[in-house]
Amino acid sequence: GAVVSQHPSWVICKSGTSVKIECRSLDFQATTMFWYRQFPKQSLMLMATSNEGSKATYEQGVEKDKFLINHASLTLSTLTVTSAHPEDSSFYICSANLINEQYFGPGTRLTVT
Amino acid sequence: KQEVTQIPAALSVPEGENLVLNCSFTDSAIYNLQWFRQDPGKGLTSLLLIQSSQREQTSGRLNASLDKSSGRSTLYIAASQPGDSATYLCAVYSGNTPLVFGKGTRLSVIA
């Protein structure tokens, strides 16, 4: 079956630094990937749609200059949280489209101290 | 805009009980509906996916039904076990768009 990986699985960083999270489709190509954020005891909130070879589409209220998305190849999308603050601490999950299904990565736990 | 609602938000049952989780969606023009399980601090595990042309899907003790015209789906869990304790998420896919998730049902099965 289709597998999506994320790296790292968890990361702790200091306030003001930047953190990059990778999302890879391991056995298929994905022109479209999605990035979600999940706060404790909340459901997943879509942050942006990542399109290979073009700019990402951000949801309302998500700062594109703070959450940089790069989808440089058909198997890799990256999310960079720039100048991270404690309020950015969250669980970040990516997914990749294959035909009419989405396959989810295992998530990345970001803690900003 | 598609909206997905899950009822109840939380549920606590004794071990061995059969239970039903409910999901409703506002726009019936969907490709498929998917049920996920999420353990605390973990990612999503896909449980069942029902295509819009299907009425139900079964996997072990799980049975999911879909009534597309009325915008409803149910997840039936038979003979619940403590290991079933998790948050169950319902999500709908409407074609070349992100999944739209409900807020989930937090299930606790008490031994």
B85 CB near a chain A CB, below 8 Å?
Answer: no
The verdict on a CB contact (< 8 Å) between B44 and A32 is no
The verdict on a CB contact (< 8 Å) between B103 and A43 is yes
Closest CA–CA distance from residue B103 to any residue of chain A (Å) = 5
Residue B107: closest CA among B25, B3, B8, B4: B8
Both tokens assigned to B104: 């989930």
B95 CB near a chain A CB, below 8 Å?
Answer: yes
Please state the length of chain A.
113
Residues of chain A with C-beta less than 8 angstroms from the C-beta of B43: 93, 104-107
pLDDT of residue A104: 93
Q: Give the CA angle between residues B81, B34, A61 to the nearest 5°.
A: 115
pLDDT of residue A53: 85
The verdict on a CB contact (< 8 Å) between B102 and A32 is no
Q: Tell me: the pLDDT tens digits for A5-61?
A: 999 999 999 999 999 999 999 999 998 999 999 988 888 899 999 988 889 999 999
The count of CB pairs under 8 A between chains A and B is: 43
Contact A20, A79 (CB under 8 A): yes
B66-71 contacts at long range (C-beta below 8 A, 24 or more positions apart): B66/B33, B68/B28, B68/B30, B69/B28, B70/B28, B71/B24, B71/B25, B71/B26, B71/B27, B71/B28
pLDDT in tens for each of the 111 residues of chain B? 899 999 999 999 999 999 999 999 999 999 999 999 999 888 899 999 999 999 999 999 999 999 999 999 999 999 999 999 999 999 999 876 788 999 999 999 999
pLDDT band at A99 (very low <50, low <70, confident <90, very high): confident
